[in-house]
Amino acid sequence: MFYDATRRDHGMQQDPLTALIVPRPIGWISTVDGHGRVNLAPYSFYNAVSASPPMVYFATTGTYGDNPTKHSRRNAEETGEFVVNMVSADLVKQMNITTSMVDYGVDEMKLAGLTPALSRYVKPPRVEGSPIALECKYWKTIEMPIEEGREKQQAVVVFGRVVGIHIDDRIIKNGRIDTLAFKPVARLGYSEYTTTENVWRMPRPDDPRYQ
Ligand SMILES: Cc1cc2nc3c(=O)[nH]c(=O)nc-3n(C[C@H](O)[C@H](O)[C@H](O)COP(=O)(O)O)c2cc1C
């Protein structure tokens, strides 16, 4: 089949777009507001964009009730910092609780029964028990184009520079990260998820550094 992405004439009950770009890593973003109140929310429009310098982004889409600005974006812009926590298989239920739409200032980390862990270079706390955390300094926000008739749905991409990285020592084996030791969770379409359960190697033909 083929469908026009602007007209969305796919004929399906639900827009399939997010089921087509899979699996997506989940950036579990912790921030604080100007009063130091903690915020935590999952973002699957998240990824690394550069290794040098180490840069990541998360993108907010749609509205938050009547408010076009999601709390993670607002806090990152206002206080200049955020932390990306890795969602391992054992944290998936808590992650789902932190997507709840709650009032500004409500601490989703507490709501999900999670414990904050101190960060080194930034104020937002990490999620204790998360095997990897990236401490980030906010860089800039880029606003996506506005679609006619969908003015309230504007997306923005929030970029940050990674300044500090926490890795649980238990997932380091022989000087490498053992992915199966923490089983990262990724987002599929709809309310579907997947967990990394197998790993294989395919060295590059032209570069023996990648083993
Ligand atoms: C696994 C998962 C991934 C999500 N990814 C995104 C995303 O990439 N962008 C977005 O705007 N909302 C995303 N959401 C919804 C937000 O988590 C939700 O709107 C949340 O309440 C935003 O919180 P905040 O306002 O505290 O930042 C996702 C939800 C889940 C469960």
Q: Is residue 55 part of a domain?
A: yes
Q: Is residue 110 part of a domain?
A: yes
Mean pLDDT of the chain: 95
What six digits make up the tokens of 124?
């937002």
Pairing relationship of beta strands 172-173 and 156-167 according to DSSP bridges: unpaired
Backbone angles phi, psi at 10, to 5 degrees: -80, -15
- Which residues lie closer than 8 Å to 209 by C-beta, 6 or more apart? none
At residue 153 the predicted structure's pLDDT band, cuts being 50, 70 and 90, is confident
pLDDT at residue 204 greater than cutoff 90: no
Give the number of the atom of ligand 1 that is nearest the alpha carbon of residue 29.
27
Q: Is residue 17 part of a domain?
A: no
pLDDT at residue 128 greater than cutoff 80: yes
Q: Which residue is listed with tokens 């907010």? A: 60
Q: Is residue 188 part of a domain?
A: yes
Q: Is residue 44 part of a domain?
A: yes
Residue 187 near ligand 1, beta carbon < 6 Å = yes
- Which residues lie closer than 8 Å to 191 by C-beta, 6 or more apart? none
Domain count, the chain: 1
Residue 72 near ligand 1, beta carbon < 6 Å = yes
Within 10 A of 187 (CB to CB), how many other CB atoms are there?
A: 23
Give the number of the atom of ligand 1 that is nearest the alpha carbon of residue 187.
1
Q: Which residue among 28, 56, 60 is best mutated to probe the pocket of ligand 1, counting the most ligand atoms within 8 A of its Cβ?
A: 60
pLDDT at 149: 87
- Which residues lie closer than 8 Å to 50 by C-beta, 6 or more apart? none
pLDDT at residue 145 greater than cutoff 90: yes
Mean pLDDT along residues 69-79? 96
Residue 64 near ligand 1, beta carbon < 6 Å = yes
Please give the Cα distance from 157 to 142 (Å, whole number).
5
pTM for the structure as a whole: 0.97
Task: Identify the residue with better confidence: 205 or 73.
Answer: 73
Q: Is residue 211 part of a domain?
A: no
Residue 99 near ligand 1, beta carbon < 6 Å = yes
Q: Is residue 8 part of a domain?
A: no
Mean pLDDT along residues 169-190? 97
Q: Is residue 169 part of a domain?
A: yes
Residue 74 near ligand 1, beta carbon < 6 Å = no
pLDDT at 86: 98
- Which residues lie closer than 8 Å to 184 by C-beta, 6 or more apart? 25, 86, 87, 88, 89, 195, 196
CATH number at residue 131: 2.30.110.10
Q: Which domain holds residue 44?
A: 24-195
Mean pLDDT along residues 160-180? 97
